[in-house]
Amino acid sequence: MSNALRTTRLGVFAALAVSALALAGCTAGSPTGDPAVADQVVVALPGDIDNFDPHTNQLNIYQFAVRDLVFSTLVKYDVALEIQPDLADFEVNDDATVFTFSIDPDAVFQDETPVNADAVIQSLERAAGTEGSIWAPRLADVASYDATDDTTVTITLNSPNAAFLAGLTDIAIIAPSNFDDVASAPVGSGPYSFTSWEPNKQIELTRFDDYFGEAAPTKTIIEQPIADQQVALNNLYSGTVDVMTTASAATVAQVDASRATVVEPDTSNSLQLIEYNSSGKLADPRVRQALAYALDKDSIQEIAFGGGGSTAWSPIPESSWAYAEQDGYPYDLDKAKALLAEAGVSDLTFDLEILTGYPEAESIARVWQASLAEIGVTLNPKVEELSVWLDKYIARDYDATWNAFNVGGDPNSFFDVIMTPHLGDDYPNTEVTDLVAQAKSVSDQDARAAIYAQLQEIIVADLPVMIVQSSPVAAIVGTKVTGYEINPLGNSLLAQVAVTK
Amino acid sequence: MNTAQRIGFQVARLALVLFLVSILVFLALRLTPGDPAILLLGPQAGRDDVAETLAALRVQMGLDQPWPVQYWLWLSDLLRGDFGESVRNGVPVVTLIGAAVPSTIWLIVLSVLVSVPLSIVLGVAAAARRGGILDRAVRGVTTVAIALPGVWFGLLLIILFSVTLRVLPAGGYVDPFTDFGGFLQHMILPVATLSVFLTGVLTRFVFAEATDVLRQDYMRTSAAMGIPARKRLFVYATKNAVLPMITIVGVQIGALVGGAVLVEAVFGLGGLGQLLLSSVLNRDYQVVQGAVLLTTIVVLIVGFLADIAYRLVDPRIAR
């Protein structure tokens, strides 16, 4: 054996022996805080995060891994997607035009400056500005921000908006001194401060001891991007990782319950859908309905989603107060053929854009393609990387595209995020536009639910978009992990996570 | 040509290659579909009420300028030593690359340190017994080693040693100065994966050279002079066969860097390869351009140094 190899082997054994001895001395107990809890929790993320500005980054992974730990918002969702106060208690007037927020007087930023009305308004104005904020549309209708006193902010809208508070849950309050550097080193008022980011290696967060809310039990959170779920699960078993925030149905099926625990929310708000270009090849609603009759949802549920999730047709999740069940299109190739004939369409061929990295999307395409072939329709699935898919999506340069969307706690989010671009372009439908605006302007939840019921009926009848199903959401944690929750959006709630010793 | 002229010529050639590479990478990025501003903002970037934000972001990223202007701005900054900043988070490109480079360098250096001695031993031993079992085995195994897809082999190693046997970590990088044992543990599988290809190439090369050397007249002369077979093989044959290896490794550095990119992705080492990959996917123009240029510089310099080393080591080459 060559000398180089022999030395390496010896070196490894020697080093392993030394490390083992060193580790044995390490578990003597933590210097501060609860001695029954480890100093550090290691979280495996499905990917890396490279932009830490909460006003430009809308990715779910950024939201739960960094934003919700480093920043506070005026209001936030709890694990059941109900709105709760975060930085401030709130009052809303009867017609939802004036929102008054009483900021917690103990709230302080991680750079020791106080979270007062001025600081909050500065962040809101930054988020409302059009120089670099993705949330500007949510604040577009604000008439004024007033600091009625040092800890009170009053926001007045031009017109009533019952979904305004839900919109605020995504708008983080940034320390005013941090505006220029927030994308690389964010400073907020949340339970953890941002310590460091090593690209593609890890993000480190450290407990903020002056946090105004419930104290976090763990001193340090380390987040590591591990794209392969098998590798992440193996690390979980061996103890180098404590929490795996995202697990597919396939991974969940093979978890050994004695070595790890699967955590699932009660319901899933994570929808997978097909969006159509309703002014292109598929402009005739009868054609879209025919395509819906050819969607074998039961097979797709088995094959793509491991039998999990819900195959309901409505774009509003079943757990929502606004959910109205729709009959939809039970799988029926004969009806599909009849509708195509009625529309005078034969030999239809269309492209389906799919984003790479979503095996369920490819499974959906394959099952649908097979059914469509039986009625003489050719579906061409095109799997593309993010930048290409995004370009086409934004320019509406597609016949049909797969998409995934997490519907927020307020049903308006679906219509705002998914439908608004279509309504202004390929699917101009004044009835829908008016109903969406009406549902926002009414405060009474029952009245809103009635309007959303109408909307769901129209969407499912017209099919400008077609809901495939909600996908099951799950995380996997080590057996000694406590305080971990996951909400129906698939967002991990990490602020109270700890590993018992 | 005297030494000064030779060095001057090399430097001029380096500059020309860098200039061409800079144009190539600049154009390649801009001709590929995908817009960094849209990628940063995500699917909401298409909304009418976000149009102003998108436009402002594009101005901030310098994308509103015509290409020649963008290139000129980048080049003039470069010549002053400023590689720019990531368009996604404002972190200086040099900082990002500096943080990513150590694990890549360790990976390549360790792979070379493992492959070179191994290939010398295998190549010389196989050449010594032409026609024997070792000869055929080495030739067969090296063919497989060269053809083996590194990514697949790396995953196989993970499945075997990390998932099934659970003796080695499945990925990640540990700084050697913080935890040397952990560093070695984490590097075993990635180095093994990258070394397979390099060992295959080098072994075949050494084997060919050693065979050639062993056939030379001076080998027969030294045998006739009574010099023992072992000394003839391990000293004379090996030295002469190994000399050109300096050049070969210098040339293979380019391929090694490419191989390292794949191995890093498989093992999550967070090195230059992964940085390049994520930056390309995110169309982070400044980072990709900076990383490609820096890599080119390093590869060219290594080749240049290999050339010098060769001239120093080989007594037959006139100074």
C-beta atoms of A184 and B89 within 8 A: yes
Question: Cβ contacts (< 8 Å) between B181 and chain A: which residues?
Answer: 12, 14-16, 18-19
Phi, psi of A487 (to 5 degrees): -95, 170
Least confident of A32-46, A129-143, A324-338, A467-481: A32-46
C-beta atoms of B41 and A134 within 8 A: yes
Question: Cβ contacts (< 8 Å) between B48 and chain A: which residues?
Answer: 421, 424
C-beta atoms of B184 and A15 within 8 A: yes
Task: Report pLDDT for B267.
Answer: 86
Q: Which two tokens stand for residue A52?
A: 């830490």
pLDDT, one tens digit per residue, over A185-214 is: 999 999 999 999 998 889 999 999 999 999
Task: Report pLDDT for A13.
Answer: 45
- Nearest chain A residue to B174, by CA: A201
Task: Report pLDDT for B318.
Answer: 59
pLDDT, one tens digit per residue, over A9-18 is: 544 444 444 4
Closest CA to B193 of B160, B228, B164, B218: B160
Q: Is the pLDDT of residue B229 over 80?
A: no
Q: Which two tokens stand for residue B74?
A: 């980048």
pLDDT, one tens digit per residue, over B132-152 is: 888 888 888 999 988 888 888
Res. B64 pLDDT band, cuts 50 70 90 = very high
Rounded CA-CA distance A106/B29 in Å is: 49
Task: Report pLDDT for A410.
Answer: 94
Indicate the residue of A12, A52, A394 with minimum beta-carbon distance to B45.
A394
Pairing of strands A378-384, A465-470: unpaired
What's the sign of the alpha-carbon dihedral A383, A389, A393, A397? negative
C-beta atoms of B274 and A200 within 8 A: yes
Res. B208 pLDDT band, cuts 50 70 90 = confident
Strands (DSSP E) found in A255-331: 260-263, 270-276
Mean pLDDT, rounded, for A458-469 = 97
Q: Give yes or no for B184 touching A (CB within 8 A).
A: yes
Chain A nearest-CA distance from B222, in A, is 26
Whole-number mean pLDDT of chain B?
87
Q: Give yes or no for A343 touching B (CB within 8 A).
A: no
Angle at B179 (CA atoms; ends B175, B181), nearest 5 degrees: 110
Mutant choice from B184, B202, B279, B284 vs A, greatest count of A C-beta within 10 A: B184
pLDDT, one tens digit per residue, over B174-186 is: 888 988 998 999 9
Q: Give yes or no for B157 touching A (CB within 8 A).
A: no
Mean pLDDT, rounded, for B37-51 = 90
Question: Cβ contacts (< 8 Å) between A403 and chain B: which residues?
Answer: 43
C-beta atoms of B185 and A11 within 8 A: no
Phi, psi of A240 (to 5 degrees): -80, -15
Residue A76 to residues A73, A170, A212, B308, Cα–Cα distance (Å):
6, 8, 15, 64
Task: Report pLDDT for B124.
Answer: 84
Task: Report pLDDT for A34.
Answer: 60
> What is the helix (H) or strand (E) element at residue A196, kind and residue range?
strand A192-198
> pTM for this one?
0.86
Mean pLDDT, rounded, for A166-185 = 95
Q: Which residue has the higher pLDDT, A15 or A389?
A: A389
Residue A244 and residue A232 in contact, taking contact as beta carbons nearer than 8 Å: yes
Rounded CA-CA distance B121/B206 in Å is: 9
Residue A127 and residue A119 in contact, taking contact as beta carbons nearer than 8 Å: no
- At a CB cut-off of 8 Å and minimum separation 6, what does B85 contact? B91, B92, B93, B286
Chain A nearest-CA distance from B3, in A, is 36
User: Which residue type, as a one-letter code, is found at position B163?
Assistant: V
Res. A33 pLDDT band, cuts 50 70 90 = low
Mutant choice from A141, A170, A231 vs B, greatest count of B C-beta within 10 A: A231
H helix count then E strand count, chain A: 16, 24
Q: Is the pLDDT of residue A29 over 60?
A: no
C-beta atoms of A394 and B38 within 8 A: yes
Q: Is the pLDDT of residue B8 over 90?
A: no
Task: Report pLDDT for A372.
Answer: 97
Chain centre to alpha carbon of residue A123: 22
Indicate the residue of A3, A53, A390 with minimum beta-carbon distance to B38.
A390
Q: Give yes or no for A349 touching B (CB within 8 A).
A: no
Q: Which residue has the higher pLDDT, A96 or A27?
A: A96
Q: Is the pLDDT of residue B98 over 70?
A: yes
pLDDT, one tens digit per residue, over A401-430 is: 999 999 999 999 999 999 999 999 999 999
In the numeric block, the tokens 């500096």 are attached to: B98
Closest CA to B125 of B116, B139, B135: B135
